[in-house]
Chains A and B, each alone.
Chain A
């Protein structure tokens, strides 16, 4: 159980590139979970859809950058399906997401034709074989995504999305069709998640039907870490950047615990436990306060 500072430094660049790629996914989770206040589980499926679409298009000869556009569109479609289930058929959001996610397993298998598509020897936009380049490419894309989101959430439509997530009662009273807004949020979110999946597939050199398993937990972990570091009341641009930072820190932590000797098979248990603790912090704080003041802090 010895982590040398040098081995930590050696692991850092990989954690950063992976973190930025997952950070884009975390931005997608941020849009639904934080902005719209709706937990969407579609992402475990749509991240893989992004990877699958990109991988198949690249093996078919498409430019890897262009394939990102199609992967994003495919993810948006996934979000639209969940949105329809939720808003038009009134299925609870969580369940709608789970249904789409399950269905996407079959869809992703159909897209790839098999469980795994390798991109070995193909021209990709970024690869773990050239990490500095990967950091540059994913960084540029992340900045682009944050800029677009920042602009969008400042527009009239974007304000309506934020208001709906904040208080859907108020939004409806101000004439917002909250169903359409939720639909839009799910579409944007899953588009980002699929974009992240496409980048991930290119980065790691393959797309795998299992690559999305537990993605939501990584996304949530990044969102939570990001908020712990930069707070929830900073400006919107800072909050979004903190999602990327959160994901990077998450991967640095992961690489640390792996170096410390954690079995890779235990990684998901570790991630889930970490996120559970982080989500429980507000409640635990309340307990602590009650203990001190001897009164409930619930309104």
Chain B
């Protein structure tokens, strides 16, 4: 059994209108337990759409998503949430800004559990959160009740990452989660991601616009173009990849220059 199995997935936005856009086309993919896959591709290649289809943000037109042997294609987003950890490109998106750090963590801690009329946070939890926050090394352990809205983008992404992995997810989905951060913070959050993924042996899909990051992290690399996978490299072959080599491969499969100039700049 594969960890994640995607079979002939299709998604078209605004079907039947002049704005019709095929975002994912006949995409099939298998992940094995513990694989850390980096995903690259130009703007509009369908990377976010693929992650959103796995997470159930919107339904697929056809095809199947099977996670740990369970067909989740038709499962609503909030039900899949118990199996998935997600961090988004926008630091605002993964946390509730008007709620405290501990309240956000408590929300994540209850992912997939039935929410009752018990008090929202227990005292033992607080200790646990403090310890987890200390491991982020951002000085957040002393600010449990601080509103998340007061944190910087990097702190919010680190917190979202912690929330995504507080309950060990079957699959971790990172969608350009460092793209909105300045280079130093981005590197720190990325290093943190590596550490958490390695510690729990998480099966991970990480979209990045940065080719070097895509090469240096993870143990498998996927390139997407026009809603399909055009390159899939793992193991030793991945270790030998270079940014130049990747750009060349991209031009070869897509017949065009790599459109994402951010990738070249970094």
Contacts and interface: CB of A to CB of B under 8 A. Distances in A.
B17 interface: no
Given A170-B94, A173-B81, A163 B120 contact: no
Nearest to B106: A159
A283 interface: no
A223 to B, nearest CB: 16
Given A175-B81, A176-B78, A157 B98 contact: no
A57 to B, nearest CB: 29
Given A166-B99, A169-B93, A233-B147, A175 B117 contact: no
Contacts of B103: 159, 162-163
Given A159-B107, A173-B81, A175-B78, A166 B96 contact: yes
Interface in B68-115: 76-79, 81-82, 84, 86, 88, 92-99, 103-104, 106-108, 110-113, 115
B162 to A, nearest CB: 13
B118 interface: yes
Interface residues of B, number: 35
A37 B96 CA distance: 13
Nearest to B108: A174
A211 interface: no
B163 interface: yes
Interface residues of A, number: 23
Contact of A155 (B93, B98, B104, B117): B117
Contacts of A159: 99, 103, 106-107, 115, 120
B116 interface: yes
A155 B122 CA distance: 10
Given A166-B99, A176-B78, A156 B110 contact: yes
Given A154-B120, A172-B78, A172-B81, A163 B96 contact: yes
Interface in A141-173: 152, 154-160, 162-163, 166-167, 169-173
A275 B258 CA distance: 53
A178 interface: yes
A152 to B, nearest CB: 8
Nearest to B84: A173
Interface string A234-253: 00000000000000000000
Given A156-B120, A172-B78, A162 B99 contact: yes
A155 B116 contact: yes
Given A172-B77, A174-B111, A175-B78, A167 B97 contact: yes
A171 B99 contact: no
B103 to A, nearest CB: 6
Residue among A159, A166, A167, A175 with max Cβ neighbours from chain B (10 Å): A175
Contacts of A163: 96, 99, 103-104, 107
A290 interface: no
B117 A167 contact: no
B95 A155 contact: no
Contacts of B96: 162-163, 166-167, 170-171
A162 B97 CA distance: 11
A169 to B, nearest CB: 5
B63 to A, nearest CB: 22
Interface in B140-168: 147, 163
A177 interface: yes
A178 B78 contact: yes
Contact of B107 (A152, A155, A174, A177): A174
B116 A156 contact: yes
A155 B120 CA distance: 4
A156 B115 contact: yes
Contacts of B120: 154-156, 158-159
Contact of A166 (B88, B98, B113): B98
A233 B111 CA distance: 27
A171 B147 CA distance: 16
Given A172-B78, A176-B78, A157 B107 contact: no
A167 B120 CA distance: 17
Interface of A: 152, 154-160, 162-163, 166-167, 169-178, 233
Interface of B: 55, 76-79, 81-82, 84, 86, 88, 92-99, 103-104, 106-108, 110-113, 115-120, 147, 163
Q: Which 10 A-B pairs have the closest CB atoms?
A: A175-B81, A166-B96, A156-B115, A159-B120, A175-B111, A163-B96, A174-B107, A155-B117, A166-B98, A167-B96
21 contacts: A155-B119, A155-B120, A156-B106, A156-B120, A159-B103, A160-B115, A163-B96, A163-B99, A163-B103, A163-B104, A167-B95, A167-B97, A170-B96, A170-B107, A173-B77, A173-B81, A173-B86, A173-B94, A174-B107, A174-B108, A174-B110
